[in-house]
Structure 1
Amino acid sequence: MAKKILVVLSEWGYWGEELVGPYDVLKAAGYSFDFMTPKGRKPPALPPSMDESYMDPPLGKCVTTSHFARRTQEIDGSELLSNPISLEDVLPQMPYFNSENFGHELERFYAIREEFWKLYVDEYDALLLPGGSGPMVDMVNNERLHNLILGYLDRDKLIAAECYCVTCLAFARDWTDRTSIINGKHVTGHAREYDYKDGTGFAQMYGYDNQPMNTSANFGPPFYPLEYILRDAVGPTGKFHGGVGHTLSTILDYPFLTGRSTQDSTLVGELMVKCLEQGLKRYGW
């Protein structure tokens, strides 16, 4: 099978380096890519991730290097992400509990999901979920995405998530037991000390009619403190690693590879290669 990665990106804005870092490493290692978004719209890069003068408030320093600003601009302005797969078009929602013929519809959903897994899990080596603020809106509580993630877990395939996309793993869980799939695992993610207190931004917004509003926006703090969610999700036998004060915080507890933030992105790509080609199963703890 050809070396292939499925990448799911937010339509509200992804952080450039969190795609570019692993993308460039994996591409150099011979991997090809397919891209997917929740509704099939081109994902925009967050403006600060293309601006090397941007000062990150919690860290008190510029976090976008000239290299990653340029590479993000190149990808954002290219056709690479112009025609992503629409997750909404290839997998239906699980039926509502009170819907008509729930039992039959649930059986039908599972049959469709198995065929979906054959196309979008079996044909790939790994799943990559780059972060940024956008995923909080259209990925973290996206039931379709949860079911995609469950497919990679079912097939024992690598799942790499960065920054706020680690929350997708916290909320992905089998419908019948509802325990997080990272329960008992070691993960990293945005530590409380590094959360914004204001100015959480989105590159594109969509209205109630699902049409683009052609505007970016700045809100207050992030919608939730990621660290608290991850601490609860891993439970008493797992562990959250914040890595506060350390430049990098990247944790591999197979099949989950998690990166705290932008600076971990290249290492995430390097560890994906080592995991896929050398059988690495543990790193960072």
Structure 2
Amino acid sequence: MARILMVLTGADSLTLADGTTHPTGYWAEEVAASHRVLREAGVEVDIATPGGVRPTVDPISLDERGGVDPSAAKEFRAYLDSISDQLAKPLALADVTVGDYDAVYIPGGHGPMEDLARDADLGRLLTDADRRGKTVAALCHGPAGLLSASAEDGGFPFADRRLTTFSDEEERQGGLAVPYLVESRLRELGAVIDAGPAWTSKVVVDGNLITGQNPQSSVETAQQVIEALRAGSTA
């Protein structure tokens, strides 16, 4: 059975551009839908956070403030409840060995901008996973976690790679005064951003790197990871 490390933010707030804080966490749909698709395909999923802290779901990802239909929110909440034991006691990133996993998967929410973007343990795992050719997947604001990675020469391991992320346009439409724009930051480091229309599913596959643009891309991102794992097992 394939085994995936799902890395969630441990942050429950985001420091905005003006220095104030905004409640955040992981985005419900991105975790619930991704986890469900992976488990239904027979993949074993372990959850990890910085320091092994219990992750917080972004409150607006479960109501209409986040553009989430009440029926969908009920479904996401029920699924998260079904994996509550995992969420309550995640692994600590510092204790994880990437060789134990076939892939690393980072869902979003604004939380990754606060902690995963500069987490040294995640950076170590991502750099090692990419060097080994293991699948590295990130969704929505999850690609902020890629910012933690550094090559031996100090460069960005994902420079010149095609990827997508929550777009600057989507961030502007969301109206939150974030401290930086993930798309722009990745471009500055040399990533080749392939953004789709706002709020529509967009997934980019570049070798072992799989990225999804927004919550609408959750299911397709997980499906692409499954395809990659299956292809690897028959290579």
Q: Report whether the alignment pairs 1:32 with 2:44.
A: yes
Alpha-carbon distance between aligned partners in 2 of 1:138 and 1:76, rounded to the nearest angstrom: 24
Question: Secondary structure of 1:184's match?
Answer: coil
Alpha-carbon distance between aligned partners in 2 of 1:138 and 1:245, rounded to the nearest angstrom: 25
Who is 1:216 aligned against?
Answer: none
Q: 1:185 to 1:198 in 2, by over 3 A?
A: closer
Matching residue's letter, 1:225? L
Matching residue's letter, 1:11? G
Paired residues, what number? 219
Alpha-carbon distance between aligned partners in 1 of 2:164 and 2:128, rounded to the nearest angstrom: 22
Q: 1:170 to 1:39 in 2, by over 3 A?
A: closer
Q: 1:21 to 1:234 in 2, by over 3 A?
A: farther
User: Is the CA contact 2:6–2:45 (under 8 Å) kept in the aligned structure 1?
Assistant: yes
Superimposed CA distance per residue, residues 104-127 of structure 1 (whole angstroms, 9 cap, x where no aligned partner): xxxxxxxxxxxx6xxx22221111
Q: Report whether the alignment pairs 1:4 with 2:16.
A: no
Structure (1 or 2) with the greater helix fraction: 2
Question: Secondary structure of 1:43's match?
Answer: coil
Q: TM-score, normalised by structure 2?
A: 0.85
Superimposed CA distance per residue, residues 124-179 of structure 1 (whole angstroms, 9 cap, x where no aligned partner): 111111111111111111111100111211221000011222122244112x4122
- 1:1-285 to structure 2, matched below 5 A, reads 2-12=1-11, 13-51=25-63, 53-54=64-65, 56=66, 62-64=67-69, 66-76=71-81, 78-88=84-94, 90=95, 120-174=97-151, 176-196=152-172, 200=176, 221-234=177-190, 239-245=192-198, 247-279=200-232
Who is 2:16 aligned against?
Answer: none
Question: Aligned-pair distance for 1:278?
Answer: 2.7
Q: TM-score, normalised by structure 1?
A: 0.71
Who is 2:18 aligned against?
Answer: none
Alpha-carbon distance between aligned partners in 2 of 1:40 and 1:171, rounded to the nearest angstrom: 18
Give me the CA root mean square deviation: 2.2
Superimposed CA distance per residue, residues 227-268 of structure 1 (whole angstroms, 9 cap, x where no aligned partner): 211212235xxx211213461221010211111110000001
Identity, % of aligned pairs? 30
Superimposed CA distance per residue, residues 181-200 of structure 1 (whole angstroms, 9 cap, x where no aligned partner): 11111011121111157774
- Structure of higher CA gyration radius: 1
Alpha-carbon distance between aligned partners in 2 of 1:268 and 1:141, rounded to the nearest angstrom: 24
Matching residue's letter, 2:159? N
Any unmatched runs of 5+ in structure 1?
Answer: 57-61, 91-115, 201-220, 281-285
Alpha-carbon distance between aligned partners in 1 of 2:200 and 2:88, rounded to the nearest angstrom: 33
Q: 1:195 to 1:142 in 2, by over 3 A?
A: same
Alpha-carbon distance between aligned partners in 2 of 1:222 and 1:183, rounded to the nearest angstrom: 23
Q: 1:246 to 1:8 in 2, by over 3 A?
A: closer
Alpha-carbon distance between aligned partners in 1 of 2:72 and 2:232, rounded to the nearest angstrom: 30
Alpha-carbon distance between aligned partners in 1 of 2:121 and 2:39, rounded to the nearest angstrom: 27
Alpha-carbon distance between aligned partners in 2 of 1:172 and 1:50, rounded to the nearest angstrom: 31
